[in-house]
Amino acid sequence: MSTILTAIAAAPSPSPSVVPDVDVTPGVAGFVAIAVVAVVTILLVVDMTRRIRRTRYRAEIRQRLESDAGGATTDVPARRADEDGRTDVGDDTERG
């Protein structure tokens, strides 16, 4: 057991080597990639916030119109089934 400890103690420890910063940093390409991801994320959050706000306002307006009409809106159907089985709940999407 003592021979193992002396062999381990006698082995030189590796000296820390200095690595140039160029080898360990992502550089310009990494910065550009992260900047693009950040800008796209910000744009997606802004767009999502606008869409949620628009949907909420349309729901509030629809609720006000239904309450003003006394809840009897049987003239216009609220949902319409298309040929493929989907239901149309109004024009909540942008068409461009």
Instruction: Quick: pLDDT tens for 40-71.
Output: 999 999 999 999 999 999 999 999 999 988 75
* 6-10, 22-26, 57-61 — most confident range: 57-61
Identify the H or E element spanning 80: strand 80-81
Confidence of residue 14 (pLDDT cuts 50, 70, 90): low
User: Which of the residue ranges 21-25, 59-63, 78-82 would you say has the lowest mean pLDDT?
Assistant: 78-82
